[in-house]
A and B are shown apart, each in its own frame.
Chain A
Amino acid sequence: AQSVTQLDSHVSVSEGTPVLLRCNYSSSYSPSLFWYVQHPNKGLQLLLKYTSAATLVKGINGFEAEFKKSETSFHLTKPSAHMSDAAEYFCVVSDRNAGNNRKLIWGLGTSLAVNP
């Protein structure tokens, strides 16, 4: 069975410093991986996705993530944090079930705080 582990439930950075949100996954075959962001009292926005093309994936708002099969990781990074990056971040793996429907397996989330 596939699973996702977000290694930090809460990360706090200063504005202008790098952001690293860590995600490990387990999968029996080549997974599709996503990062979604949720700002307070908002819906979920797709940041970026990996679907077996380039291992370094660039997303919106300056975020990127690197798929490392040997480490089963998909960490999210940004060179310089902005106050508007404060939000909840979810790492997600896509699983195909017996009915050929895709089901998303969610990590528990990482809350990112950005200090001025």
Chain B
Amino acid sequence: DTEVTQTPKHLVMGMTNKKSLKCEQHMGHRAMYWYKQKAKKPPELMFVYSYEKLSINESVPSRFSPECPNSSLLNLHLHALQPEDSALYLCASSQGPGGETQYFGPGTRLLVL
């Protein structure tokens, strides 16, 4: 089973709201990723967690705050977002930080008003 699940599927939030995106995998993978994807563009890497520790932060604004509660779960906490943050947020996982193949979830489509 190569399934990564994400909730919610859609999210609308105001610029003063606080919300969270959730990602889960049960493949025993030890690396998990957050990507942001704008329409008609490739995904952009935001964060990488390796063995539940943050290993890469691609200079993402602090209004995005990742969290890895355990090896199966990855959260992205959102606060004081801007309209330009509206995008598809994708979670992925791979066997390890050196694991090559990343498996993606269906994404959360976020609209910031």
DSSP class of A's interface residues: helix, strand, loop or mixed? strand
**Which of A32, A106, A109 is in CB contact (< 8 Å) with B40?**
A109
Contact in complex: A94, B97 (CB < 8 Å)? no
- Interface size of B in residues (CB-CB distance below 8 Å): 27
| Nearest-neighbor residue (CB-CB) of A91 within chain B | B42
Give the chain A neighbours of B13 by CB distance below 8 A: none
- Interface size of A in residues (CB-CB distance below 8 Å): 26
Per-residue CB contact flags for chain A residues 88-116 toward chain B (1 = under 8 Å, else 0) read 10100010100111111011110100000
Q: Which residues of A contact B (CB under 8 A)?
A: 32, 34, 36, 41-46, 49, 51, 88, 90, 94, 96, 99-104, 106-109, 111
Q: Which residues of B contact A (CB under 8 A)?
A: 2, 6, 31, 40-43, 45, 48, 50, 55-56, 90, 92, 94, 97-107, 109
